[in-house]
Amino acid sequence: MTMPVTFVEVVEVHRITPRTARITFAAEELPDTVGTTPDQQLKLCFPRPGQREPRLPARQDDPMGWYRAYLALPEAERPLMRSFTLRGRRPGTRLVEIDFVLHGDTGPAAAWALRAAPGDRLGMVGPSALYAPKVPFAEAAAAADWVLLAGDETALPALATLVGALPEGVRAYAWIEVADRTERQDLESRAVLAVEWLYRDGAAPGALLAGAFRDRALPGGEPFVWLAGEAGAVRAVRRLLVERHGVPKAGIDFTGYWRHRLTQDDAPTAEDLADARERSAGY
Ligand SMILES: Cc1cc2nc3c(=O)[nH]c(=O)nc-3n(C[C@H](O)[C@H](O)[C@H](O)COP(=O)(O)OP(=O)(O)OC[C@H]3O[C@@H](n4cnc5c(N)ncnc54)[C@H](O)[C@@H]3O)c2cc1C
């Protein structure tokens, strides 16, 4: 399976909330499948200081071959890679939208997004069916009595595409923790969707989300839960779902999107590795 790799160029930057930049890129190449399903994950490659654009190995048929070529680049020239979600694609064009959480100047992705301007260039790896969930979301949602999506602002781009893909009649809940009231976004869905915003207002990341799962009751029946955000919070919420609410592990799709005080380049912790083993065993 080929991993799509292309340069993308900024055409528009729009602050959709005080801490979220929606950036529209023109992709040099874009397969037709991009933007046709929800929660499409991709990697962005950021230039090193002094580079006008990142150095990208050419696309290869073997995705691991591309990654090996990437690792073989001298470290000083190798682009920094970060994970993102396709928020949308403008129909009939090669224009894609990606929402960046502006969490500060500490990480290369957020620092780049703070200053992004038309003409700036990044590399985009994926989206690819390789990153697609084992059970498609719509299928898992249809088999459940109700659906719950929970996460923080980094999960919002994926969550928005997922609720957008839910069919009419599905009973769905979204619990979303954001910095404060100004970070709310409108979500569109044909499902019967109840959205609950949790405002951090200075509290530690994930504290409100975990608190909600500790303090509240969930509806009866068999749910399907989609969970993403800060890795420690995701872990705590998953534990509460299983131990306090009796949700079977197989009914929870969970992913740590970022790690408090660790960058995406830092080595996985023992807990990250345990999560990865559980995910590959089928959640
Ligand atoms: C599958 C997947 C999809 C994702 N989709 C998106 C998306 O669409 N939009 C998006 O904005 N993010 C998304 N993320 C999260 C994003 O990859 C991380 O937030 C990443 O760490 C950002 O890189 P950085 O270079 O800004 O910071 P890093 O260099 O990775 O980290 C630098 C510092 O910033 C802190 N940090 C990182 N992210 C945050 C945050 N959100 N809030 C507060 N502190 C933070 C770290 O703890 C660290 O101390 C996704 C992650 C995954 C795994």
- Centroid of ligand 1 to alpha carbon of 110 (angstroms): 8
Question: What is the token pair recorded at 225?
Answer: 């839960």
Residue 107 CA to residue 30 CA, distance in Å, equals 27
Q: Which atom of ligand 1 is nearest to the CA of 152?
A: 41
57, 78 in Cβ contact below 8 A? Answer: no
pLDDT string in tens for the chain (283-residue length): 678 899 999 999 999 999 999 999 999 999 998 998 999 999 999 999 889 999 999 877 787 888 899 999 999 999 999 999 999 999 999 999 999 999 999 899 999 999 999 999 999 999 987 777 777 888 889 899 999 999 999 999 999 999 999 999 999 999 999 999 999 999 999 999 999 999 999 999 999 999 999 999 999 999 999 999 999 999 999 999 999 999 999 999 999 999 998 999 899 999 989 888 888 776 5
Instruction: Give ligand 1 pocket residues (Cβ under 6 A).
Output: 41, 82-85, 99-101, 103, 106-110, 154, 157, 255, 257-264
- Centroid of ligand 1 to alpha carbon of 154 (angstroms): 7
Q: What is the pLDDT of residue 1?
A: 66
The listed CATH number (3.40.50.80, 3.50.50.60, 3.40.50.460, 3.60.9.10) that belongs to domain 137-280 = 3.40.50.80
Q: What is the pLDDT of residue 62?
A: 81
Residue 184 CA to residue 251 CA, distance in Å, equals 27
Q: How is the chain split into domains, by residue range? A: 5-131, 137-280
φ/ψ of residue 52, rounded to 5: -80, -30
Q: Confirm whether 5-131 and 137-280 share one CATH topology.
A: no
252, 241 in Cβ contact below 8 A? Answer: yes
Residue in 214, 219, 237, 217 with CA at minimum distance from that of residue 227: 237
Q: What is the pTM of this model?
A: 0.96
The residue whose CA is least distant from atom 37 of ligand 1 is 258
Residue 106's Cβ-count burial label (10 Å; 0-12, 13-18, 19+) is: exposed
Residue 9 CA to residue 208 CA, distance in Å, equals 37
Q: What is the pLDDT of residue 21?
A: 98
CATH topology of domain 5-131: Elongation Factor Tu (Ef-tu); domain 3 (2.40.30)
